[in-house]
């Protein structure tokens, strides 16, 4: 299965929304608990992971996907 441009746009939109919705979590925890607290650091790691995912999604090249023959076309 592959992703077409419309699906990719939708996935990117949802991922960006996820990133913006969670953006305040590290800030709140850092302000309340300090940057060294494990919760604040876990929140930073979470946000970093989401940002990596969104960055990769934005860079995803649709044309680089392998062409897969549709099995229904062969029947």
Partner 1 sequence: MYIPEADFEQLIRTLSEARSRATELAASIGARLGTEHRLAKLAYAASLKVENMLREVRFSATQNPDTGGGLAELQDALQTETQPVTPTPINSSVGMPTGVQTMSSFAAQAGLESEHWVSLFVEDLTSQLRASGGITFEVAERLLQQRKDDFLRDFLVARRMYRTYPHLFPESHGQMGRAEGHTISQ
> Which whole-number Å values give the CA distances from 69 to 2, 49, 73, in the listed order?
11, 34, 8
Q: Would you list the DSSP string of 29-65?
A: HHHHH-TTSHHHHHHHHHHHHHHHHHHHHHH--GGGS
Is position 7 an interface residue for partner 1 (rule: CB under 8 A)?
A: yes
- Please name the residue that has the structure tokens 């309340």: 32
Is position 35 an interface residue for partner 1 (rule: CB under 8 A)?
A: no
Nearer to partner 1, 18 or 72 (CB): 18
Is position 3 an interface residue for partner 1 (rule: CB under 8 A)?
A: yes
Which positions touch partner 1 (CB under 8 A)? Answer: 1-3, 7, 11, 14-15, 17-18, 21-22, 24-25, 28-29, 32-34, 37-39, 42-43, 45-46, 49-50, 52-53, 56-57, 60
């Amino acid at each position: 299965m592959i992703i077409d441009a419309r699906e990719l746009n939708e996935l990117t939109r949802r991922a960006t929304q996820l990133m913006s919705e969670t953006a305040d979590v590290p800030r709140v925890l850092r302000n309340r608990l300090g940057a060294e607290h494990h919760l604040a650091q876990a929140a930073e790691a979470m946000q970093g992971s989401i940002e990596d995912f969104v960055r990769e999604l934005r860079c995803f090249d649709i044309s680089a996907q392998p062409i897969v023959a549709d099995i229904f076309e062969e029947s």
